[in-house]
């Protein structure tokens, strides 16, 4: 085991993701004993007093402050997780990077491609490392899927179809949190889930897919008013019987995609899809085979390879020790990993980036790619036409 040095960790926004990032740092050396950095939990910034208390008492942060400025004024912070609502991302992300701290930022990294690009510029100008929360690419089955595509096992790619369907806002009394207000969130399901979908498609498809070159999109808002939120609450919080306010962004969005390789694709996303809980899934088809993965069965990759293309049958392959980072979590096939594990993998990639000075895993540049495609979907819908990207 190599000697590790300490790195001062801070988090801005200590809700669901702020806590998941912290748990990832805490577990990093359990899964990767040779990791060259060990976290020192320095400070959390969150306007909510309860969250600050939780950071100190349950997670062992030395300090919990109200604003990011107080946090960045410290000289013992080396890396900052930006996990506040989307409107916080740009101002804080730029400030973190320009202060010379490494940046771990949640998707969508701002409310628009303009925000994301500004954060990326700060990262590049300062030469710091970055990681972005595109966690689904970290699943070992997804890593194996990417390898199969890159090795040409599916033949020439014909289609990539991604579904990012959730029911977290399906109840009409779901609280009107920051997620429904363009001022605080930017887009709705587009930034929240379609951004993940683009990253997943492009990661699995890799160079063979050649990026998205054109798309045509549609979107809709079905639940137009919701009860006002009270206090902090998750995606899933219910509002009360009090006043209701308008929903300002889309519940559902979908697109037809054209890729540089000539392959075609679809992307469907919804936050109001009754019956769908985290249906985050991808199917890739080529002239010689197909593969299919669904986050809800994270350790399974469905494959249709090496057969006569007529009447070919699917088989289910459980992830194996050589797939992605499975071996850091489980000793063999068939033992499940969970959502939080994907964040440990993400943290490991960030540490690799910091230690080597070279990008590893999803970075702010991947967030720019996804944000530009989300912007393209908005433009296509607004203008009612195909747009090139
Ligand atoms: N990668 C993923 O799969 C994933 C999943 C969920 C959320 N996210 C992203 O993570 C981010 C946070 O989402 P969440 O679900 O953790 O939200 P959340 O509502 O659970 O937590 C947000 C926290 O930020 C705090 N906050 C509000 N204003 C702030 C400010 N000005 N400065 C600092 N903190 C502030 C809130 O008090 C709250 O504690 C979002 O951008 C979201 O898109 C990513």
Q: Which helix (H) or strand (E) holds 218?
A: strand 212-220
CA of 68 to the centre of ligand 1 (A): 14
Quote the CA–CA distance of 140 and 320 in Å, as a whole number: 8
> What is the band of 338 on the pLDDT scale with cuts at 50, 70, 90?
very high
| Conformation bin of residue 18: beta by default, left when phi > 0, alpha when psi is -120 to 50 | alpha
Tell me, using a 6 A CB cutoff, whether residue 39 lines ligand 1.
no
Query: CA of 214: how far to CAs of 210, 262, 279, 342, in Å?
Result: 12, 11, 25, 30
Least confident range from 59-63, 235-239, 297-301, 338-342: namely 235-239
Burial class (CB in 10 A: 0-12, 13-18, 19+), 371: buried
pTM of the entire structure? 0.97
- Quick one: which atom of ligand 1 is closest to the CA of 235? 15
Give the 3-state secondary structure of residue 158: strand
User: Cβ–Cβ contacts within 10 Å for residue 15, how many?
Assistant: 19
pLDDT per residue over 198-214, tens digit each? 999 999 999 999 999 99
285 pLDDT more than 80: yes
pLDDT per residue over 105-151, tens digit each? 999 999 999 999 999 999 999 999 999 999 999 999 999 999 999 99
pLDDT per residue over 190-201, tens digit each? 999 999 999 999
293 pLDDT more than 70: yes
The structure tokens 């980072």 sit at 325
Give the 3-state secondary structure of residue 322: coil
Tell me, using a 6 A CB cutoff, whether residue 299 lines ligand 1.
no
């Amino acid at each position: 085991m190599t000697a590790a040095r300490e790195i001062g960790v801070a988090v801005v926004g200590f809700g669901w993701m702020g806590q998941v990032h912290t748990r990832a740092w805490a577990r990093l050396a359990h899964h990767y004993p040779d990791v060259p950095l060990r976290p020192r939990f320095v400070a959390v910034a969150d306007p909510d007093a309860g969250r600050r208390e939780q950071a100190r008492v349950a997670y062992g942060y030395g300090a919990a402050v109200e604003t990011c400025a107080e946090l960045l004024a410290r000289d013992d912070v080396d890396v900052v997780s930006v996990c506040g609502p989307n409107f916080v991302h740009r101002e804080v992300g730029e400030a973190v990077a320009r202060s010379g701290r490494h940046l771990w930022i949640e998707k969508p990294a701002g409310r628009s491609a303009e925000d994301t690009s500004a954060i990326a510029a700060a990262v590049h100008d300062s030469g710091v490392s970055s990681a972005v929360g595109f966690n689904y690419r970290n699943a070992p089955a997804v890593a194996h899927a990417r390898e199969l595509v890159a090795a040409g096992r599916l033949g020439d790619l014909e289609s990539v179809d991604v579904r990012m369907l959730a029911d977290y806002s399906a109840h009409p009394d779901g609280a009107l949190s920051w997620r429904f207000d363009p001022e605080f969130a930017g887009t709705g399901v587009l930034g929240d889930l379609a951004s993940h979908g683009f990253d997943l498609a492009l990661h699995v498809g890799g160079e063979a897919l050649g990026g998205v070159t054109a798309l045509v999109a549609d979107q809709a808002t079905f639940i137009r008013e919701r009860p006002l939120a009270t206090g902090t609450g998750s995606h899933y919080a219910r509002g009360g019987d009090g006043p209701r306010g308008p929903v300002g962004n889309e519940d559902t969005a979908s697109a037809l995609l054209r890729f540089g390789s000539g392959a075609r694709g679809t992307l469907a996303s919804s936050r109001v899809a009754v019956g769908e809980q985290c249906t985050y899934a991808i199917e890739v088809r080529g002239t010689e085979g197909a593969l299919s993965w669904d986050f809800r069965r994270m350790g399974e990759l469905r494959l249709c390879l090496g057969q006569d293309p007529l009447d070919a049958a699917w088989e289910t392959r459980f992830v194996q020790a050589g797939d992605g980072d499975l071996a850091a979590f489980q000793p063999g096939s068939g033992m499940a990993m969970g959502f939080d594990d994907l964040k440990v993998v993400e943290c490991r990639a960030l540490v690799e980036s910091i230690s080597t000075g070279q990008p590893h895993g999803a970075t702010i540049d991947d967030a720019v790619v996804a944000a530009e495609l989300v912007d393209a979907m908005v433009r296509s819908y607004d203008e009612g036409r195909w747009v090139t990207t």
